[in-house]
Structure 1
């Protein structure tokens, strides 16, 4: 089951990566998001299934959707082997889960996002405002 799950994510990300150019933003499926799960990361390329936070209220889901889809592709100098969190965007049983690594920035700094299954290690940068709001959510 786990292999099927990762295979679906991998195929989806390959298709999505092929559609992106320099300066692009992250994309999600054009489907309703059921909930967002956050876990402490086990490291690059691995997904931690021990959920710390689950967000299912519409305003919370919309906030995460905004953070992800407005993050812009840029070079990043984060250490790719140690993400802080794993974000799982869940659409329901009929769709794959988007798995994203998050390197949470310090207050008033950008954060870095990366699709978990991304062979070229493309990173995306959030705004400092979004980082501050993420930090506030994770402290509750």
Structure 2
């Protein structure tokens, strides 16, 4: 009987720890393909992407900043203005469609907010460190 109780206690612990780690899909995702380019433009509003590029990033270190910032952003509904600061086009090359993402760049010491251009209005927040790295790339 002690073995059965121990087994159920162990299974329960695994289930509880899995629930505390968050549900799948709470973080933003990108394709499982190599990001080759991120194009930044001044946003003209949600639901559309400005095709007039301000900057294009192709170097590995900059691409890593964008990838990490996006993939570690956690789903959290926050109040945002209708016009994001930037539109990001994350490109995987000619064989795959680009991800269009809106970015509300956080102030120093604050997280940033991201949202898929095509989505249900969900917002995702970055870490303060990600905001610092994004500001270093985007703010002159």
Q: TM-score, normalised by structure 1?
A: 0.80
Q: Which runs of 5+ in 2 are unaligned?
A: 1-22
Contact 2:62 / 2:137 at 8 angstroms: preserved in 1? no
SS of the residue corresponding to residue 96 of structure 2 reads: coil
Do 1:33 and 1:92's aligned partners in 2 also have CA atoms closer than 8 Å? yes
Q: Does 1:50 align with 2:52?
A: yes
Q: How many angstroms apart in 1 are the aligned matches of 2:57 and 2:63?
A: 6
Structure 1 residue aligned with 2:109: 108
Q: Secondary structure at the match of 1:88?
A: strand
2:29 is matched with 27
Contact 2:65 2:133 in 1 (8 A): no
Alignment equivalent of 2:73, drawn from 71, 75, 81 = 71
Q: Deviations over 1:82-121 (max 9, x none)?
A: 1110011000111000000000111100110000001x20
What is the 5 A alignment of 1:124-139?
Answer: 124-139=124-139
CA distance in 2, matches of 1:23, 1:46: 24
SS at match of 1:37: strand
Q: Is the CA contact (8 Å cut-off) linking 2:65 and 2:134 kept in structure 1?
A: no
Please say if residues 39 and 85 of structure 1, whose CA atoms lie closer than 8 Å, have aligned partners that are also in contact: yes
Structure 1, unaligned runs of 5 or more: 1-20
- Structure 1 or 2, whichever has the larger Rg, is 2
Contact 1:22 1:73 in 2 (8 A): no
1:23 shift after superposition: 7.0
Quote how far apart the aligned CAs of 1:46 are: 1.2
Maintained 8 Å contact 1:23/1:74 = no
